[in-house]
């Protein structure tokens, strides 16, 4: 029986791809193990999957800025490397797959030190995260979502651009079902705000502040995130904390989508040819990867950008602009030559290479 070791964590974006790949390897008869952190989201999510052995190691957050916590975390990294080395020495995986996040570097290095040479790594954003940058010398293949990521890598021979790894969850949405769900009519266009599973406070606040003005021209779907305080629904305004199966129907109904600019989210919008207004996470909350993602899409004519600190003041103006030129964005997206990969296709690459 072949064996694969997955790693990645710290945020949902560093786990989601692994969640899609693991069942495919299990169905093909592979033994699956996972190395993650003790308290990260990956611990909770992976342990729900039957048949996966989960190992927790010490992790130190890899910061790009000065913090006194760096002195504590710098000691956790070598300890994590040693723990990962011991686990890998015991388990002897044939393949290691890393999705990134600060837990991944000790695993990649531990695998390399054990002589594992089939180490694959995936990056969702334009620029590699710090953990992936540190891991790059020790991996055999570096899968990228954006072709431009190769510009940030010295050893380009390792880079394999596979495009976004997308599921079919947004295919075949039913606009009439969504219209009935929201009690909307067919006379006004529909604008959808997507704050993510945890919401986006600045976007949510901007919606409420500008709601009356927006409702003069548009009908509003507002996916605000679990636990967020929102206005009660009213004519032309339908708020949701979270949607799952209905998301494809709501997406099909939307004429313009306002969203953060995480890689997976914006490529899903591209796959559905939805004109976008992107509000990247501010630099105080990220390393700036969302801003670069958004700039890439704007450069290709797929989207417009609104900064987080201007979202309340300029929201209506920018939505009007995107809606007015929506057909141009749709045309650009329809004519774009871009690569995408399914979980199944990525599985085939890893399993058979």
pLDDT digits (tens, 9 = 90+) for 319-351: 999 999 999 999 999 999 999 999 999 999 999
Those residues whose C-beta lies under 8 Å from the C-beta of residue 270, and which sit 6 or more positions away, are: 297, 302, 333, 336, 338
- Using pLDDT thresholds of 50, 70 and 90, give the confidence band for residue 199: low
Angle between helices 326-335 and 311-324 (to 10 degrees): 70
DSSP string, 221-279: EEE--TT---PPPBTTEEEES--STTHHHHHHH-SEEEE---HHHHHHHHHTT--EEE-
Q: Tens digits of per-residue pLDDT, 296-325?
A: 999 999 999 999 999 999 999 999 999 999
Q: Tens digits of per-residue pLDDT, 67-86?
A: 555 556 667 789 999 999 99
- Using pLDDT thresholds of 50, 70 and 90, give the confidence band for residue 11: confident
The mean pLDDT value of the chain amounts to 92
> For position 93, what pLDDT does the model report?
98
- The single residue listed with the structure tokens 């690569």 is 339
> For position 196, what pLDDT does the model report?
61
User: What's this model's pTM, rounded to 2 decimal places?
Assistant: 0.86
Which candidate, 261, 339, 333, places its Cα nearest to that of 293?
A: 261
> For position 77, what pLDDT does the model report?
85
Neighbours of 298 (CB within 10 A): 15
> For position 14, what pLDDT does the model report?
87
Determine the average pLDDT of the residues in 133-155: 95
- Using pLDDT thresholds of 50, 70 and 90, give the confidence band for residue 244: confident
Distance CA(250)–CA(272), nearest Å, equals 12
Angle between helices 69-91 and 104-113 (to 10 degrees): 40
> For position 70, what pLDDT does the model report?
57
- Using pLDDT thresholds of 50, 70 and 90, give the confidence band for residue 39: confident
Domains of the chain, start order:
3-163+340-352 (3.40.50.2000), 175-335 (3.40.50.2000)
Q: Tens digits of per-residue pLDDT, 167-194?
A: 889 999 999 999 999 999 999 999 999 9
Those residues whose C-beta lies under 8 Å from the C-beta of residue 115, and which sit 6 or more positions away, are: none
Running DSSP on this structure, what letter comes out for residue 188? S
Distance CA(191)–CA(206), nearest Å, equals 14
Distance CA(192)–CA(207), nearest Å, equals 10
């Amino acid at each position: 029986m072949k064996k694969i070791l997955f790693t990645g964590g710290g945020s949902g974006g560093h786990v989601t791809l692994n969640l899609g790949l693991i069942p495919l390897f299990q169905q093909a008869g592979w033994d699956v193990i996972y190395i993650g952190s003790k308290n990260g989201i990956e611990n909770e999510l992976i342990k729900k999957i039957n048949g996966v052995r989960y190992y927790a190691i010490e992790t130190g957050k890899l910061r790009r800025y000065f913090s006194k916590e760096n002195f504590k975390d710098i000691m956790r990294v070598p300890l994590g490397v040693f723990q990962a080395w011991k686990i890998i020495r015991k388990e002897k995986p044939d393949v290691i797959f890393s999705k990134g996040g600060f837990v991944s570097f000790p695993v990649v290095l531990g695998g390399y030190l054990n002589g594992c040479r089939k180490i694959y790594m995936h990056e969702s954003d334009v620029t590699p995260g710090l953990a992936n940058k540190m891991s790059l010398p020790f991996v055999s293949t570096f899968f990228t979502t954006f072709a431009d990521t190769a510009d940030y890598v010295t050893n380009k021979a390792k880079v394999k651009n596979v495009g976004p790894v997308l599921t079919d969850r947004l295919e075949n949405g039913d606009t009439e079902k969504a219209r009935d769900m929201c009690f909307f009519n067919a006379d006004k266009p529909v604008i959808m705000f997507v704050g993510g599973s945890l919401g986006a406070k600045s976007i949510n606040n901007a919606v409420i502040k500008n709601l009356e003005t927006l409702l003069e021209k548009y009908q509003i779907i507002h996916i605000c995130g679990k636990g967020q305080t929102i206005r009660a629904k009213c004519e032309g305004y339908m708020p949701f904390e979270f949607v799952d199966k209905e998301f494809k129907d709501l997406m099909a109904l939307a004429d313009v989508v306002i969203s953060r600019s995480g890689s997976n989210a914006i490529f899903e919008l591209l796959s559905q040819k939805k004109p976008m207004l992107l509000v990247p996470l501010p630099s105080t909350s990220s390393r700036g990867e969302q801003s670069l993602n958004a700039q890439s899409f704007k450069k290709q004519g797929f989207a417009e950008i609104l900064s987080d600190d201007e979202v309340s003041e300029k929201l209506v103006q920018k939505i009007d602009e995107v809606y007015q030129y929506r057909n141009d964005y749709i045309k650009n997206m329809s004519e774009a030559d871009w690569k995408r990969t399914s979980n199944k296709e990525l599985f085939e690459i890893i399993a058979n290479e």
